[in-house]
Amino acid sequence: MVYQSVLRKKRQLIEKGSFNCSDSFYFSDTIGEGSGGKVYLAEHINTGQQVAIKTESGNKERLHHNLNKEIDILRLIKHENVVTLLGVFEFSEEKHLVMDYMDGGDLLDDLYKKKRPHSEPRAREIVAGILSAINFCHTRVGVVHRDLKPENILLDKRGGVKITDFGLSTRLLETSSYLTTFCGTPSYMAPEVLRHEPYGKAVDIWGVGIILHIILGGYHPFFEPDDAKNNILIMKGQYKLYNKYWSHISPDAKYLIRGMLNICSSERPTSCEALKSAWLLATERSY
């Protein structure tokens, strides 16, 4: 009976397919590159399911540490707006993360293809998805993403939204609500990070604010070519909502952006407060 039970379980595993073995996949094109490595499109041999597989590349010791941390964090997060970790395997002394594949590409590519900003209803859908995931990360598992940007927001062709690339993410310890590691993508770093001050969950709200600005206005709020000068603009919170691009945007959307891009982190809305903002709770209306 025990032997038959073991055989039955093995048969079920073969039928469903394992996501923890390199021999289970046909690798295809490179579809992206995030913190820690390249991302490939692959197909599961037994099931035909398309998946995204992230591999290590670069400084092995540092990236191996980051990848292990990303694995631990993704195993904690089960949310419809966060990529799902399906499996992990090692091949050629490199770790590979198997994740669900989003067939709409990332948000930045989406904006380039459309060649115009998103409408407010679509922007509302995208930001609601991002904030829902961030709220879960912040309140349920104590995770801070630390690298929110359009490239790390994935879409599917049905309009779904998922956050990816948790390579720079970390968990806040119960004994401390602040972090000190200097990390992130320069033009998306919050002022407190650039000032080398202790920081917390509010850095993710800053990132969402920049994303919202980009998808409604069509440009980055801080776009000075010189990095040092751009950092000064960020730390001072100096940006403009040019009338040419923002005259048709609702006051509630602008109010939310200004709140998220407040240089004082304690005055930014929390993820929960942002989800309850007038703009996100609005239905279709005329302004």
Q: Which of 106, 110, 147, 165 is catalytic?
A: 147
56 with 95: CB under 8 angstroms?
Answer: yes
Structure tokens at 127: 């930001």
Annotate 153-217 with DSSP letters as a single string: EEE-TTS-EEE---TT-EE--TT-S-B----S-GGG--HHHHTT--B-THHHHHHHHHHHHHHHH
Rounded distance between C-alpha atoms, residue 7 and residue 13, angstroms: 10
DSSP conformational letter for 273 = H
Report which of 45, 41, 75 is spatially closest to residue 55, judged by C-alpha positions. 41
Helix ranges, the chain (H):
2-16, 60-76, 107-114, 120-136, 191-194, 202-217, 227-236, 243-246, 251-260, 271-275, 278-281
Rounded distance between C-alpha atoms, residue 136 and residue 77, angstroms: 8
Residues 6+ apart with CB under 8 A from 210: 148, 149, 188, 220, 221, 222, 261
Rounded distance between C-alpha atoms, residue 154 and residue 238, angstroms: 29
Give the strand pairing for 94-100 and 85-91. Answer: antiparallel
Please confirm, yes or no, whether 147 is among the known catalytic residues.
yes
Backbone torsions φ then ψ of 193, nearest 5 degrees: -70, -45
**First and final C-alpha spacing in the chain:** 70
Hey, how many other C-beta atoms are within 10 angstroms of the C-beta on 257? 23
Catalytic residues: 147
